[in-house]
Structure 1
Amino acid sequence: MQSSEVTTGRRVAVVLEPGDEVLASLTEACRAHGIRQGFVPVFSGAFRTARFIAADVPVADQEPPLPHEVTVTYTEGIGSGTILWDADTATPTPHLHLAVGVKNAAAAGFAGHVLSAETHYTVEVLVEEVVAPALLRVPDPRAYGIPTMRFGAA
């Protein structure tokens, strides 16, 4: 377990419109406001499509990361995540998880790491900037090499 006090900066509200791709739009909003890293304490709305890392059939071993993805359409949901600076691409990079219900299937639920999502009616996002410490993604061998958040120098 790791923990660190964080110094927060600005809060920016982002409203995505029909057809906006969620990850690309959030990246662009962060660029426009000069936000390199932060948290997305909440985002919610309607999604025309949402593509997750998930499996829609049982897998033999649930311990390693899933190699599958699932796309669902016409959903509403809520999520949260982080935004970390990718030094290799000089880009603020969102990492979002989302739980949605499919509107035409009695709100059947899907949840997971977002690979892509398209706004249907609207998606409302709150971004909270983190000024310090540096938030880093570092591959963790205990997590099958998945880059996980670490704290840099304050």
Structure 2
Amino acid sequence: MSGSWSRPAASATSRLAVGRTLGVTFHHGEDFFEALSTFCRDNGVRQGYIPSFIGAFAEAEIVGACEKVADPDAPVWAKTYVTNVEAFGASTLPTTPPPVGYSRTSTSAPA
């Protein structure tokens, strides 16, 4: 190998205290965003993250980019419309638009 590689200096670390842990199940035919918004409102959730989810969607808009983005540190708001997919991913629930559902997911081929 040419060149040399050295491990970067250690990052600062701190203890992470996780707050409330909640779970929700959505039923076939429910509007995902409406049901999620109701769940968040009923449970006082103003922001958060979904460490993982698995589901099937009759239709969905998935946030992501197919091309290289100009600024990799900027949020990506471009979406792709898909139908009849299964998905596994993670999501954040930000306090700024869009209010819920900014998701980075991997999906299977249409069913």
Q: Do the two structures share a fold, i.e. TM-score over 0.5?
A: yes
Residue 21 of structure 2 corresponds to residue 11 of structure 1 = yes
Higher strand proportion: 1
**Identity among equivalent pairs (%):** 26
Where relative contact order (Cα < 8 A, 6+ residues apart) is larger, the structure is 1
- TM-score normalised by structure 2 residue count: 0.63
Residue 101 of structure 2 corresponds to residue 101 of structure 1 = no
1:82 alignment counterpart: 92
How many equivalent pairs are there? 97
Change (3 A) 1:93 1:71: closer
- TM-score normalised by structure 1 residue count: 0.48
Larger radius of gyration: 2
- Stretches of structure 2 lacking an aligned partner (at least 5 in a row): 1-10
1:32 alignment counterpart: 42
1:63 alignment counterpart: 69
Q: Name the Cα RMSD after superposition.
A: 3.3
- Stretches of structure 1 lacking an aligned partner (at least 5 in a row): 105-154
Query: What SS does the corresponding residue of 2:19 show, helix, strand or coil?
Result: strand
| 1:41-56 → structure 2 map (5 Å cutoff) | 41-54=51-64
Query: What SS does the corresponding residue of 2:39 show, helix, strand or coil?
Result: helix
